[in-house]
Amino acid sequence: MVIRTQKVRLYPNQTMKKVLDDLCDYRRYCWNQGLALWNDLYDASLILEDQELCANERKVRNELVANINCQPGVCS
């Protein structure tokens, strides 16, 4: 298997430079929008994970308190 590399040198005129700059700006805009969405979803997953962890901790704490308050022979 042979991999060939080809270098191309471009000499854009002013119109082409403007179009290329606009396309690069749009690419950067899309990247930043995607990154912002990724960060928002990541933060939301951390918040959701914390809420689930807190709910589990409350459940365990309530069970422990119920067992502590339980008198022998009274609790099932």
The Cα–Cα gap between 22 and 34 comes to: 18
Q: What is the pLDDT of residue 18?
A: 95
- Are the C-beta atoms of residues 15 and 22 closer than 8 Å to each other? no
Cβ atoms within 10 Å of 27's Cβ, excluding its own: 10
Q: What is the pLDDT of residue 58?
A: 73
**In terms of pLDDT, which residue wins out, 14 or 67?**
14
**In terms of pLDDT, which residue wins out, 30 or 67?**
30
Tens digits of residue pLDDT in 10-66: 899 999 999 999 999 999 999 999 899 888 888 887 777 777 767 777 777 777 666
| Cα 20 from chain centroid (whole Å) | 30
H helical segments located in 2-74: 14-68
